[in-house]
Amino acid sequence: MRHRIAVVGGGPGGLTFARVLHRHGYPVAVLERDPAADARPPGGTLDLHEGLGQLALDKAGLLAEYQALSRPEGQAMRILDTEGTVLRDWRPRPDDRANPEIDRGQLRDLLLGPLDVQWGRGVTQVVPGTRDGVLVHFADGRQEAFDLVVGADGAWSRIRPAVSSVTPHYTGVTSVETSLDDVDTRHPDLARLIGDGSVAVYGVHRSLVAQRNSGGHVKVYARFRAPLDWHTNPDRHMSLSRGAGLDAGLDPADVEAMRSSLLALFDGWAAPVLDLLRHGTAFVHRPLYVLPVSHTWAHVPGVTLLGDAAHLMPPLGAGANLAMLEGAELAESIAAAPGPGDLDEAVRAFEEQMWARASRWAKITTAGLERLVSPDPTEAIALWDQVQPS
């Protein structure tokens, strides 16, 4: 008899899990809150690492398709100082396949393939250990029972409380994202500045990074140390900007107010760098939250977590990679379990493996964030020199 398996969340982790199970002939219910695949903008480009995200795609039988879609040239990185002087200008070799970039939307569509996702099925909670199995409660009031529920529902997971009382905490670093469209035609100077990949500028306690996506779309990330309420509390504003023009009660949805606040915050930086903010179309405020570095839990039969739901960490290029590999590994363990009684053992073994690897990456990315948004901008360059093979 086949197990009744559900994965909550159709992000990179949940879809990889479902796709690998599907490849092994196992049915799985993919329960996704969004009403449709394209219900919201998919977010910025992702670099998938050879031993992580790419390995997961290989397990899903999708590596060749990824390679055809991905942008190896997108690995290029240019680092400037705040006056606009180029400090590093690294370009990958044409055959470099270590971390090619792919748009999130393209990756999602690649993973979706034949999967029959149940869109618009927001989960509110799961209750393990009932007579019918694990009971999933939906936002529309319905309920459904499964033998295994995998929480791949991201940072604010509704599945996590079934195994752990831990919740994410604020890192002290916040992020405001904006984007530029059709950059090669509309902003050719910025297109040259950004090049094929990314441009990054590091200052004291703040950074600006612009990343090229496909189709001339660019995502810009302004990151800075600030209290969580920096945009609503006037006193906090003053300490952050040293009085340099941030308005009290700033509404992140007010594009012009956000733009002028950010321009004040990055005042004095080179004009071409500030143009990244001047031409940004909309601004999204995204404070960076994390789970504790070594988040584990006492195993609960019938429920597990993967990806950000299990180990939310600073966004330094690992989260989607880990979520995907975990999805693939859990699916393979389930498919390899010899009998119905072995499902729980397969999940336990998966959890041990996930915790050990995620803890290593959480340490790396936590230390990395400290150095990238630090009082000493040379720390960011030193970090780049450490991780980048010359």
Q: Which residues bind ligand FAD (CB under 6 A)?
A: 8-14, 31-34, 44, 46-47, 122-123, 152-154, 158, 221, 307-309, 315, 317-321, 323
DSSP 40-76: S---S-EEPPTTTHHHHHHHTT-HHHHHHH-BGGGG-
Instruction: State in angstroms the smallest separation of the CB of 45 from ligand FAD.
Output: 7
In 285-316, which positions are buried (b, 16+ CB within 10 angstroms) versus exposed (e)? eebbbbbbbebbbeebebbbbbbbbbbbbbbb
Give the nearer residue to ligand FAD in terms of CB position, either 100 or 302.
100
What residues are paired with 130 via a beta bridge? 133
DSSP character at residue 300:
B
- Measured distance CA(230)–CA(235) in Å, rounded: 8
Instruction: State in angstroms the smallest separation of the CB of 308 from ligand FAD.
Output: 4
Q: Which of 356, 336, 361, 358 is nearest to 346 (CA)?
A: 336
Instruction: State in angstroms the smallest separation of the CB of 136 from ligand FAD.
Output: 9
Instruction: State in angstroms the smallest separation of the CB of 99 from ligand FAD.
Output: 8
Instruction: State in angstroms the smallest separation of the CB of 320 from ligand FAD.
Output: 3
362 touches 293 (CB < 8 A):
yes
| CA angle in degrees (0–180, nearest 5) for 253-256-257 | 70
Q: Which residues contact 367 (CB under 8 A, 6 or more apart)?
A: none
Site of tokens 């040379």: 378
**Cα first-last separation, the chain:** 53
Give the nearer residue to ligand FAD in terms of CB position, either 325 or 343.
325
Instruction: State in angstroms the smallest separation of the CB of 307 from ligand FAD.
Output: 2
- Measured distance CA(260)–CA(263) in Å, rounded: 5
Instruction: State in angstroms the smallest separation of the CB of 341 from ligand FAD.
Output: 29
